[in-house]
Chain A
């Protein structure tokens, strides 16, 4: 096992990796930007290396600086976390060329899975079910109309280099194709510098369900069941759970087997996630994320497996040492992402300085966060401040526990999406398990009316007290007057002294 690793990330995921590494007796090297000098990951690591700069490009995305920091501090491996350089095959190659271990999949696997067209082609060859559609990109609207006849409307136009919902257009009939094609292509060029588009059938009420896999370097591989990630808006997930209410033992086995087949086909190593769209009892391959996912804790809670520990073991060449038959799923887990955003204003980003933090606790409640009092939440980094995760013996218990934990949580200084998550958890359709990826966007997100009178009274008293306190504070002009008098005395005194000296 490694003695020392470098974590090429920040925020809660850097802390997540540091925690497991510490438990394994591994020393951690943190890297930090100018803005993160006081950040928790900087404080919690054994060694912290400043990279300078405030923008991600000057720090966490600067491959050269990151590798140099690892070599200088004697780290033997690099854990990329998620985001930043985690799915950058070129970076992964440079890490191994520098003689360091890469705590992630082989660069070739990152490359294949990173391109939607190449990955779909590979998955079709591997016998993995894909959404009905074209494998190859289409060149112009006329070709798209022709191809759409064979696939069937509605059609989704997607960017080959896409992600994050950019460059996607839904087309319901041939007449809409030309304009949708043009705008999607323009968006893809500006977002990814790559205007290639492909077509697939648009699934009307899909659920986003993904399977966690783990492979060692000796041909072994297991899956840890699925995660349900349908509560999202603009393709940003808000609530995730494990297991999914629509997946039974038989389907779980089938999806797991397909996910393992996908991984084996690209000689995968380490942790990965195979994403599927599920509709009407059928599942279709969407993409493979070649890193640890944000929502990995729900899998950990239900399977009892520390996924970061497994990542480190695999990177250190250890065999998994267990098979599929040893993986047991127990109970239910839910995660809520705490993002700095305003759910009542269309989830607009919210910035400010954090104060008044109150963390939830109690049995089976886990808070993975890098928040601290005084932390500046700006626009330079991802708005995700942390994740609240709970476990329950069943889904009902997990929902009740999450509602209880969210009621305990206070994050003052910015607005967060937590109240929206609470509204989802209280919604009868969510409780019944009846939802799809459009659920959150279709919801009314107003707080309960019954407490408004009480809230209005509290707000008025708060302002009243604030004004009274301000009236009692010494005013700036009074302080200035005192200083001026002091200076006048001093002047008189020195003049007198001068006079006296002259006499």
Chain B
């Protein structure tokens, strides 16, 4: 089984091969000798590698996994081969825009753009207030505003669609 793991701006390939009940691990084309044991079902993991012990903690779902190693946090985005192929196909079809979702529950304070407006990457689209802080939600790429899914003053849940953008070719 092959996984594509993105940490920050770098991508890594991890191949897991089950052989005689043991897991062989290949990271970026190099075999990695390690022993991995989950101490509980809550995320405490005992990791032994190259004669060293790493008490790490892991949490998350299939696509996003967070690993804490010696106090440092690594946000990992995971794709298996099928997901990677679907993602590449979508990218090729020019679906780089799409809906921008709320990353946390909050209240829409102000919409800064209108439908049909041309926006550039980094431009603030709306202000979302959460935990008494106002956060600017910005466009990730140049594009045109297709739809506004929310109105000023509206409370939104995490994952709710805020604005749809179509990305300029």
A residues apposed to B, CB below 8 Å: 344-346, 348-351, 355-356, 358, 378-379, 383, 403, 406-410, 412-413, 415, 418-419, 422, 446-449, 451-467
- Docked-complex contact B58 and A459, CB < 8 angstroms: yes
CA distance A358 to B39 in the complex (A): 13
A-B contact count (CB 8 A): 147
Closest-CB distance, A267 to chain B (whole angstroms): 33
- Docked-complex contact B66 and A379, CB < 8 angstroms: no
A interface SS class = helix
Contact of A453 among B12, B23, B104 (CB under 8 A): B12
Chain B residues, CB < 8 A from A413: 59
- Docked-complex contact B10 and A460, CB < 8 angstroms: no
A-B contact pairs, 20 of them (CB 8 A): A345-B103, A349-B130, A356-B43, A356-B44, A379-B106, A379-B131, A383-B131, A407-B70, A410-B43, A412-B43, A415-B66, A454-B32, A454-B34, A455-B76, A456-B12, A456-B27, A458-B56, A459-B74, A463-B62, A464-B23
- Docked-complex contact A458 and B105, CB < 8 angstroms: no
Whether A409 touches B71, Cβ cut-off 8 Å, given contacts A457-B14, A459-B5, is yes
Judged by a CB distance under 8 angstroms, whether B93 is at the interface is: no
B interface SS class = strand
Complex interface residues of chain B between 14 and 61 (CB less than 8 A to chain A): 14, 16, 23, 25, 27-28, 32, 34, 36, 38, 40, 42-45, 47, 49, 54, 56-61
- Docked-complex contact B103 and A348, CB < 8 angstroms: yes
Closest-CB distance, A464 to chain B (whole angstroms): 5
Closest-CB distance, A378 to chain B (whole angstroms): 8
- Docked-complex contact A452 and B12, CB < 8 angstroms: yes
- Docked-complex contact B7 and A456, CB < 8 angstroms: yes
CA distance A459 to B60 in the complex (A): 9
Chain B residues, CB < 8 A from A408: 71
Give chain B's interface residue range (CB within 8 Å of chain A): 35 or more
Chain B residues, CB < 8 A from A351: 104-105, 158
Chain B residues, CB < 8 A from A447: 7-8, 69, 72-74
CA distance A348 to B7 in the complex (A): 19
- Docked-complex contact A403 and B44, CB < 8 angstroms: no
Instruction: Output the nearest chain A residue to B133 by Cβ-Cβ distance.
Output: A349
Chain A residues, CB < 8 A from B1: 464
Judged by a CB distance under 8 angstroms, whether B118 is at the interface is: no
B residues apposed to A, CB below 8 Å: 1, 3, 5, 7-8, 10, 12, 14, 16, 23, 25, 27-28, 32, 34, 36, 38, 40, 42-45, 47, 49, 54, 56-62, 65-76, 78, 103-106, 130-131, 133, 135, 158
Contact of A461 among B12, B25, B74 (CB under 8 A): B25
Instruction: Output the nearest chain A residue to B68 by Cβ-Cβ distance.
Output: A410
Contact of B43 among A344, A355, A454, A457 (CB under 8 A): A355
CA distance A350 to B57 in the complex (A): 18
- Docked-complex contact B78 and A460, CB < 8 angstroms: yes
CA distance A418 to B106 in the complex (A): 23
Chain A residues, CB < 8 A from B103: 345, 348
Instruction: Output the nearest chain A residue to B40 by Cβ-Cβ distance.
Output: A356
CA distance A3 to B39 in the complex (A): 46
Contact of A419 among B16, B73, B133 (CB under 8 A): B73
Whether A451 touches B104, Cβ cut-off 8 Å, given contacts A349-B130, A456-B14, A460-B78, is no
- Docked-complex contact B59 and A356, CB < 8 angstroms: yes
Chain A residues, CB < 8 A from B42: 355-356, 412
Closest-CB distance, A125 to chain B (whole angstroms): 35
Instruction: Output the nearest chain A residue to B43 by Cβ-Cβ distance.
Output: A356
Chain B residues, CB < 8 A from A448: 72
Contact of A454 among B10, B47, B104 (CB under 8 A): B47
- Docked-complex contact B45 and A458, CB < 8 angstroms: yes
Closest-CB distance, B91 to chain A (whole angstroms): 22
CA distance A378 to B157 in the complex (A): 12
CA distance A346 to B122 in the complex (A): 14
- Docked-complex contact A458 and B67, CB < 8 angstroms: yes
Chain A residues, CB < 8 A from B3: 459-460, 463-464
Instruction: Output the nearest chain A residue to B10 by Cβ-Cβ distance.
Output: A452
* Sample of 11 more A-B contacts, CB < 8 Å, known A454-B34, A456-B5, A460-B5: A348-B130, A349-B104, A349-B130, A355-B43, A358-B44, A409-B71, A447-B74, A457-B25, A458-B36, A458-B58, A464-B16
Instruction: Output the nearest chain A residue to B135 by Cβ-Cβ distance.
Output: A348
Q: Which 10 A-B pairs have the closest CB atoms?
A: A349-B131, A460-B14, A456-B5, A447-B72, A356-B42, A456-B12, A356-B43, A407-B71, A406-B71, A459-B76
Chain A residues, CB < 8 A from B40: 356
Whether A460 touches B16, Cβ cut-off 8 Å, given contacts A453-B32, A454-B54, is yes
- Docked-complex contact A453 and B28, CB < 8 angstroms: yes
CA distance A455 to B59 in the complex (A): 12
Closest-CB distance, A383 to chain B (whole angstroms): 5
Chain B residues, CB < 8 A from A345: 103
Contact of B75 among A344, A358, A466 (CB under 8 A): A344
Chain A residues, CB < 8 A from B7: 447, 452, 455-456
Closest-CB distance, B38 to chain A (whole angstroms): 7
Closest-CB distance, A415 to chain B (whole angstroms): 7
Closest-CB distance, A237 to chain B (whole angstroms): 15
Chain B residues, CB < 8 A from A379: 104-106, 130-131
Instruction: Output the nearest chain B residue to A373 by Cβ-Cβ distance.
Output: B42
Chain A residues, CB < 8 A from B44: 356, 358, 410
Closest-CB distance, A492 to chain B (whole angstroms): 42
Instruction: Output the nearest chain B residue to A345 by Cβ-Cβ distance.
Output: B103
Instruction: Output the nearest chain B residue to A406 by Cβ-Cβ distance.
Output: B71
Contact of A455 among B23, B38, B69, B104 (CB under 8 A): B69
